[in-house]
Amino acid sequence: MLIDLTGRTALVTGSTQGIGLAIAAGLARAGARVGVNGRTAERVAAASDALRAELDGGDLVDVAADVTSAEGAARAVELCGEVDILVNNLGIFGAEPALEIGDEEWRRYFDVNVLSAVRLIRSCLPGMIGRGFGRVLNIASDSAVVIPIEMVHYGVSKTALLAVSRGFAKEAAGTGVTVNAVIAGPTHTGGVEDFVYSLVDRALPWDEAQREFMRAHRPQSLLQRLIEPEEIANLVVYLSSAQASATTGGAVRVDGGYVDSILP
């Protein structure tokens, strides 16, 4: 399948590392003009330079803005211009006993994982509808469906993101704009390595630590390994394309078979 995103502008939030960086690379490789987003100009510039080196070029826009604030979200959209593909990838996670999560931490998780996406959708969706094309992808998680006991607040915020995706897909009905959630499974990123080592013996080599983590904490995975960020990016690039025109309002899984159900 030949996916050509030439002429499209994408904004990928939280794209200086991990899944977001892989998504930015995939979209740029398919020809899109991609806004690389992070909170500081230094980190954004470093990520953009790394991508240009990897891609031997690429049409990239540095988007240094904290999209968890209204001002930062507006700044991000201003820097990108007309956004055709919005990938709400930014998210935070961390292990904490359920009964010890206070109100402020709950609010922080909703501000970052849910409201930042809602705010950008509100900003970008009208233009997409007016132009008759648009793609909104909200990066959710298997934790939205299988709430992890060690991070209930994260799981609940990602559940909310599934509902956000479905609701805005209805708002865009019949317009040529699609809105979907992507349910990503346990993925190999630097942040996840830290998380894995918070739950298993830090003395273990990474390959052994990963296997122990999957055995003890993610035994439902049919892959029996962590997913690589590029595997998440491949699905996002497809869903961003014209070929995915009939997929909207969905919670599309790239979870390695982690969620043990026929439907999410």
Same domain, 194 and 90: no
Looking at the structure, tell me whether residues 66 and 162 fall in a common domain.
yes
State the CB neighbour count (10 A cutoff) for residue 112.
19
Question: Is 154 part of the annotated catalytic residue set?
Answer: yes
219, 241: one domain: no
Give yes or no: residues 148 and 203 share one domain: no
Looking at the fold, whether 212 and 242 belong to one and the same domain comes out as no
Residue 125 and residue 29 in one domain: yes
**In whole angstroms, what is the distance from residue 227 CA to residue 214 CA?**
11
Q: Going residue by residue through the chain, which has 264 residues, state the pLDDT in tens, using 9 for 90 and above.
A: 899 999 999 999 999 999 999 999 999 999 999 999 999 999 999 999 999 999 998 999 999 999 999 999 999 999 999 999 999 999 999 989 999 999 999 999 999 999 999 999 999 999 999 999 999 999 999 999 999 999 999 999 999 999 999 999 999 999 999 999 999 999 998 878 888 999 999 999 999 999 999 999 889 899 988 999 999 999 999 999 999 999 999 999 999 999 988 876
Q: Do 167 and 217 fall into the same domain?
A: no
The answer to whether residue 109 sits within a structural domain is: yes
Q: Which of 236, 118, 153 has the alpha carbon at shortest distance from 187? A: 236
2 domain-assigned? no
Closest by CA to 146, choosing from 200, 184, 110, is 184
Q: Which of these is catalytic: 154, 197, 238, 258?
A: 154
**Domain annotation covers residue 198:** yes
Domain count, the chain: 2
* Residue 261 counted as domain residue: no
Assigned domain for 3 exists: no
Tell me, yes or no, whether 193 and 179 share the same domain. Answer: no
* Nearest C-alpha neighbor of 50 from the set 17, 26, 80: 17
**The domain containing residue 73 runs over which residues?**
9-186+236-252
Do 106 and 193 reside in the same domain of the chain?
A: no
pTM of the model: 0.94
Q: What's the CATH number where 72 sits?
A: 3.40.50.720
Q: Is there a single domain that holds both residue 138 and residue 204? A: no
